Amino acid sequence: MNRTPRPTQSLVFHADDLGFTHGFTDAIHRAHRHGNVTSTSIQSIGIAYDYARRNVLPDCPGLGIGVHLNVVECRGLRPARRQSDLVDADGCFRGYGPLLRAALSRRIRQQIVDECTAQIEKAASDGIAIDHLNSHRHVHMLPWLFDPICEHADRYGIPFIRVVRERFHSFGTRSGIARLLRDCNVAKQSVMSACAARASSRLRHHDVRANQRFIGISFTGFGSESAITAALAANRAETVELLLHPCVRRHSLDHGRLSPSIRRYCDAPSRAIELAAACSMALAKKIRDMGFATTNYAALADRMRKHATVRQRDGGTRTKNTIAAARASALSTHAATI
């Protein structure tokens, strides 16, 4: 008789981009209420931020919420005159250029850190219980930005930060386009692995924890159930984050409100594939059969606090017992010498 193994690994089944658009927001809502998603991260600058905060979060009390820092696209929170190196005349981010120049410019780095601060403070001031930090396009993994983001987590009592540490694996791709996409993913994965090595060494300097493994770059563009299970098999660890980007394509509330690049991102065929995976009960069973238990960062942090309390209590009990035994031994020795 086949039995499902007892879960020994924690899987944070995560969907980015809550509040980014209405399409992403409704997809994440559906995937949590009727599917597998246990964690998400909200974009404070997204066009659907207020929609998500007022209509989705109250209906999803068990959904872990992080802040998805975005300094690549959309309109920033801070005035354009105070971050002119990052945004255009309309206050919209200029893309990756400023991030590359920031490595050589303290002024640009400070503008980026200040914008990240504003995005975190907006979510916190709106009463969102933030359980982790991550970023759009994983830019927080850049060596010069990772430490400041960890300092933000320390300052605001945010227990986790995402580390993009994904082990390379391969799965079948037949078409030329799929192979090209796979090769691009491998290149991104290599860059992130180099950044993750440094990030892991820096975590010991901060009061913040991270996932041990991450899954989400290798199957970007074709996040099917088979690709996800192959990635899970290659990235077993005590704590794993699985990232998807599910979206309801061509959402009516987004019509006419998205830039061409964001519209293409939202309408990509992979968005529907990942939404199907996020809602798949067959995938949920496969995950359980592989020994994973789904959770979120808030639950992981709560579990760690409880374990620390138990260790502290047990340590105190052992200390008291040791002192009592020492006293009894001393009394016995004293009595024997009388």
CA-wise closest residue to 50 among 111, 128, 132, 148: 128
**In sequence order, what DSSP letters do the residues of 3-50 get, joined into one string?**
-PPPP-EEEEEEEEEETT-HHHHHHHHHHHHSSS--EEEE-TTSTTHH
Instruction: State the CATH architecture for 9-295.
Output: Alpha-Beta Barrel (3.20)
**pLDDT tens-digit profile, the chain (338 residues):** 455 555 679 999 999 999 999 999 999 999 999 999 999 999 999 999 999 999 999 999 999 999 999 999 999 999 999 999 999 988 999 998 998 899 899 999 999 999 999 999 999 999 999 999 999 999 999 999 999 999 999 999 999 999 999 987 765 555 554 555 566 777 888 899 999 999 999 999 999 999 999 999 887 777 889 989 999 999 999 999 999 999 999 999 999 999 999 999 999 999 999 999 999 999 999 999 999 999 999 999 999 999 877 766 666 555 456 545 555 554 454 444 44
pLDDT value at residue 173: 54
Q: 295-332 in b/e burial notation, b at 16+ Cβ within 10 A?
A: bbbbbbbeeeeeeeeeeeeeeeeeeeeeeeeeeeeeee
Residue with tokens 């809550």: 18
Each as own residue / partner, the long-range contacts of residues 168-174 (CB below 8 Å, 24 or more positions apart, any chain) are 168/218, 168/234, 169/218, 169/230, 169/231, 169/233, 169/234, 169/235, 171/219, 171/226, 171/227, 171/230, 171/231, 173/222
DSSP string computed for 296-333: -HHHHHHHHHHHHHHHHHHHHHHHHHHHHHHHHHHHHH
- Give the Cβ contact number of residue 169 at 10 Å: 16
| DSSP code for 131 | E
Domain coordinates of the chain in residue numbers? 9-295, 305-338
What is the structure's pLDDT at 325? 58
* CA–CA dist 49, 164 (Å, integer): 25
pTM of the prediction? 0.87
Helix (H), strand (E), coil (C) string for 207-241:
CCEECCEEECCCCCCCCCHHHHHHHHHHCCCCEEE
- Cα(173)–Cα(183) distance, integer angstroms: 11
